[in-house]
Structure 1
Amino acid sequence: MRHFLTNRTKRIALFSSALFVLILLSAPLDAASRRTTKPAGAPRYIFLFIGDGMGLAQAALSDAMRERGTPGLVMNTFPSIGIATTHAENRFITDSGAAGTALATGSKTSIGTISMAANHNDTLRTIAEMVKAKGMKVGIVSTVGINDATPACFYAHNANRKNVYNIALQMPSSGVDYFGGGYANGNLPQNRKSGTSFRGDIVDLMKSRNYAVVTEREQLGSVQPGTRCWAYTAYDEQGAMSYALDRKQKEISLAEFTREGIRLLDNPRGFFMMVEGGKIDWACHANDAAAVAGDVRDFDRAIAEAVLFYRKRPHQTLIIVTADHECGGLTLGNAARGYASRFELLGYQKISGERFAEKVATWKKNRNISFPMALDSIKVYYGLGNAAADSALALSSADRQSLNDAYSSSMAREVSDKNRYSAPDALATVATGMLNRRAGIGWTSPVHTALPVQVMALGVGASVFTGFYDNTDIAAKIIAASQLKPFIEKQKRSKNIANRP
């Protein structure tokens, strides 16, 4: 561990020099005050927005792709700017379990752990639990499964993020007043086996604890303030919402879930709401720049809902925006394009690579789409081959051969293989990458990186979020600003108690 910390210090020095200009815009914090500084008054309404996988490049890409004359990202208008490191206790490149735990509790833990210490014996008190103890209400919102790693870290405790059924079992007794966004992927039939034993359907258990369970926009709008609620919309085979690029009109957006959550949680004693843009990370894993930009913009619309609330109560509200880690090693620029970036070309992509891969799987199953027909679909959904619209979209003979090879590979692939990381669809991957390169986008990885992430803050106590610090300090600053019970007091439990419903 001593060797690891030495290397970490060296790497942080390199990262900090690369981000020097941004840090200059932030007021410095001395080491003694950055974890303990308190504002004059504690905020009553606290928002924590987490863009999963969203580094500086992801946000910059989304902003660069906006139409000329339209407003930029709301998060970029926040007056306080900081930079946070993201490493886990036992690995330099973190996962969402360890990073989510750091943001939820202010403590480091090991990879894959959900708000427990690395020893897997001690549970760590979360901000949500501290807020409830203070008499405030709590909301948890995410575009991925509501018991996926990041949202789970705010209301559950488990030694392994893969125990999704046991994590979902903690929802009914969590005390959380509002769950919104994705479904409980732990309640999916294929995931119930992850638990030690089946203890009931999660939806039924939630209803038995007097939660209103709603799935449509009109139903959500009719829930009365003060009623505990679990609201989710259409979800995929992993319990996640659609990408913004793919969302149908009847599906509820992240901004709507945030707005309705504010309505339901608003009360004189205050509330804490964590909102995650979880599918930003998924798009980064897929190296799908258009989907990244779309979900960052969608995430920013949710932030705008909190800002509207802030404008009504500026002396009582604190909003923090950050990420749990960067994903994909995204760069705005590549060797093929040099300085001639064409980010607007990504606008020709009409659906996510994931949705296109689903279409390809259907083609294979039905055996009804030839390669020339597939090229037509690529032209429709990616713009590739539409030289009349833009000469940069023209396909060379080498491009066609590359797409043909990918088509053959996709048609030979087993339809049952649904692993989006290790075995993505070949044709969707090649088409997406081809458009990305033309736009001037570069990717270094299909997984997370150790890059520090941005922190933006607005409202009561926002100034303490300036500077360069660790992700655990984000939670520490929220706890200090809100005058909550310190996170350093752990709750001793046995290993099994975290699995109880």
Structure 2
Amino acid sequence: MKKLIYSLFFVLISVAANGQAKYIFYFIGDGMGVNQVNGTEMYQAELQNGRIGVEPLLFTQFPVATMATTFSATNSVTDSAAAGTALATGKKTYNHAISVGEDKNAIQTVAEQAKKAGKKVGVTTSVSVDHATPAAFYAHQPDRNMYYEIALDLPKANFDFYAGGGFLKPTTSFDKKDAPSIFPIFEEAGYTVARGYNDYKAKAGKADKMILIQEEGANPSCLPYAIDRKEGDLTLAQITESAIDFLTKGKNKGFFLMVEGGKIDWACHSNDVATVFNEVKDMDNAIKVAYEFYKKHPKETLIVVTADHETGGIVLGTGKYELNLKALQYQNHSADGLSQRISELRKAKGNKVTWEDMKEFLGKEMGFWKELPISWEQERALHDEFEKSFVKNKVVFAESMYSKSEPMAACAKRVMNEIAMVGWVSGGHSAGFVPVFAIGAGSHLFGEKIDNTEIPKRIAKAGGYK
């Protein structure tokens, strides 16, 4: 019944999809290729209904759906900076560039166009505010790793609302020199800094411009993975809700809001399938917040959902013509979270962890042996890693782009991939198509296969930006 209601509503509002968009939501799932989306829906079907098929996410039911190419100006496989620049400016550039061209000159972004058109503007993410994708909407720098310099561009853009985990280099310049803290600079530019959702609610009423980050002491690089979340952690849905609240207060001329689900990419770099699917679902929860706003303003709102690139080359099926995605429900934490707990186990046992201790631990954390049968080969792989790490104390941490994992956690993750029958091509990006979904005013502009550079151009057209 719920799906039928959604379908009928989509048909009814599609009639109004040709008007100008006063309110624009631009969701970017970093690393979210077609199979990340399809896999999440197939996992939901197995988990919720015990059946083969798909249980749709909200955004995949939008009436317009297509796909986009992602190559950069210099590489067949893009990085997030060049892809973010393409999605922000409609121009190709070199890998690592933040909204500058190959000549290093700044390129105007769709967010800057929206601001010039009199709209309020928000740039938000589940990773750091100075990371590649959000940075591409407000900053202009030749290298994505210029975090301090990117942060200095934030008040220059003069957007109304920023949000994310925090800032990576608040007092250190790109050339590794001490520099004045960015936070007084933000405050001098008229920004109120809120640390956490409750602090936002306390300060938002009197703030002219807002930066929402996590509470003091939290990891500034990102929000916690959805699978690891604890009560009180800031979420992407709360950030989206706060952005809408802030951008619609006072004189309402409309807004442009970019929301990035940044940790889909991080989990894909780690080849951590359970965490990936939970991150995709978490972004869908943020999109639901936007959709509730959309239902109140269907003739004036556009929601576009896409990705900057695919990460990991995820494969749904490893040759057996079947999947076992429901096994993923027994993984209680991300590979990073599991790694942390293994380190804690070492300390608790005084580095005298037994194989039986490890079996009990993995049974609780991953469902191995208790809920999920383990083959002889899989148990041997786990036991061999245990012998190396805990008996011989040869601990070589497994590294992906954004994390280092206890080797035992990395091995357990590989075993879970085998059980779920999910494969990975690499720990990096691929050139695969990314999906594009749209609903609302101007959504008809997204009807055929396109390049990623077309997306911001069509958003600007839908919003009437010059």
TM-score computed with the length of structure 1 as normaliser: 0.82
- Give the letter for the 2:195 counterpart: T
Deviations 1:353-408 (A, max 9, x none): 1111122334456525333312221111111111xx3xxx2234432321123234
Q: Equivalent residue for 2:40?
A: 62
Deviations 1:48-97 (A, max 9, x none): 00000001111112122224369731101100111100000000010000
Q: Equivalent residue for 2:70?
A: 86
CA shift for structure 1 position 439: 1.2
2:183 alignment partner, one of 191, 203, 206? 203
After superposition, residues 132-281 of structure 1 pair within 5 angstroms as: 132-187=115-170, 192-195=172-175, 197-222=177-202, 223-224=204-205, 227-233=208-214, 237=219, 239-266=221-248, 267-281=251-265
Q: Equivalent residue for 2:286?
A: 302
Change in Cα spacing, 1:395 to 1:71, as seen in structure 2 (3 Å) is closer
Q: Equivalent residue for 1:404?
A: 383
Q: Equivalent residue for 1:31?
A: none
Change in Cα spacing, 1:40 to 1:286, as seen in structure 2 (3 Å) is closer
3-state SS of the aligned residue for 1:369?
coil
CA distance in 2, matches of 1:435, 1:452: 26
Deviations 1:170-197 (A, max 9, x none): 223321211112111122x6xx252575
CA shift for structure 1 position 480: 1.7
Q: Equivalent residue for 1:465?
A: 446
Q: Is the 8 Å Cα contact of residues 397 and 406 (structure 2) preserved in structure 1? A: no
CA distance in 1, matches of 2:396, 2:355: 18
Q: Equivalent residue for 2:111?
A: 128
CA distance in 1, matches of 2:272, 2:137: 28
Q: Equivalent pairs: percent with the same residue? A: 35
Q: Is the 8 Å Cα contact of residues 350 and 381 (structure 1) preserved in structure 2? A: yes
Q: Is the 8 Å Cα contact of residues 75 and 321 (structure 1) preserved in structure 2? A: yes
Structure 1 segments unaligned to the other structure (5+ residues): 1-38, 486-501
Change in Cα spacing, 1:410 to 1:276, as seen in structure 2 (3 Å) is farther
- Give the letter for the 2:258 counterpart: M
Structure 2 segments unaligned to the other structure (5+ residues): 1-16
CA shift for structure 1 position 326: 0.5
Q: Equivalent residue for 2:432?
A: 451
Change in Cα spacing, 1:243 to 1:173, as seen in structure 2 (3 Å) is same
3-state SS of the aligned residue for 1:113?
coil
CA shift for structure 1 position 422: 8.7
Q: Is the 8 Å Cα contact of residues 84 and 454 (structure 1) preserved in structure 2? A: yes
3-state SS of the aligned residue for 1:185?
coil
After superposition, residues 297-376 of structure 1 pair within 5 angstroms as: 297-335=281-319, 338-364=320-346, 367-376=351-360
Q: Is the 8 Å Cα contact of residues 64 and 447 (structure 2) preserved in structure 1? A: yes
Change in Cα spacing, 1:418 to 1:450, as seen in structure 2 (3 Å) is closer
Q: Is the 8 Å Cα contact of residues 332 and 442 (structure 1) preserved in structure 2? A: yes
- Give the letter for the 2:90 counterpart: G
CA shift for structure 1 position 226: 5.9
- Give the letter for the 1:403 counterpart: L
CA shift for structure 1 position 482: 1.7
- Give the letter for the 1:272 counterpart: F
CA distance in 2, matches of 1:453, 1:197: 39
CA shift for structure 1 position 42: 2.2
Q: Is the 8 Å Cα contact of residues 395 and 406 (structure 2) preserved in structure 1? A: no
Deviations 1:455-483 (A, max 9, x none): 00000010110111100001111122222
- Give the letter for the 1:307 counterpart: Y
Q: Equivalent residue for 1:26?
A: none
Paired residues, number: 436
3-state SS of the aligned residue for 1:169?
helix
CA distance in 2, matches of 1:356, 1:203: 34
CA distance in 1, matches of 2:131, 2:324: 35
CA shift for structure 1 position 134: 1.1
CA distance in 2, matches of 1:236, 1:280: 20
CA shift for structure 1 position 413: 5.8
Change in Cα spacing, 1:468 to 1:369, as seen in structure 2 (3 Å) is same
CA shift for structure 1 position 236: 6.1
- Give the letter for the 1:401 counterpart: R
Deviates more, 1:323-332 or 1:354-363: 354-363
Change in Cα spacing, 1:44 to 1:368, as seen in structure 2 (3 Å) is farther
Change in Cα spacing, 1:231 to 1:422, as seen in structure 2 (3 Å) is closer
After superposition, residues 423-434 of structure 1 pair within 5 angstroms as: 424-434=405-415
3-state SS of the aligned residue for 1:310?
helix
CA distance in 2, matches of 1:112, 1:460: 33
3-state SS of the aligned residue for 2:138?
coil
CA shift for structure 1 position 325: 0.3
- Give the letter for the 1:477 counterpart: R
Q: Equivalent residue for 2:8?
A: none
TM-score computed with the length of structure 2 as normaliser: 0.88
3-state SS of the aligned residue for 1:153?
helix
Change in Cα spacing, 1:166 to 1:371, as seen in structure 2 (3 Å) is farther
Deviations 1:259-292 (A, max 9, x none): 1110100152111100000000000011111000
CA shift for structure 1 position 417: 8.6
After superposition, residues 408-419 of structure 1 pair within 5 angstroms as: 408-410=387-389, 412=393
Q: Is the 8 Å Cα contact of residues 388 and 395 (structure 2) preserved in structure 1? A: no
CA shift for structure 1 position 46: 0.5
- Give the letter for the 1:321 counterpart: V
CA distance in 1, matches of 2:79, 2:380: 37
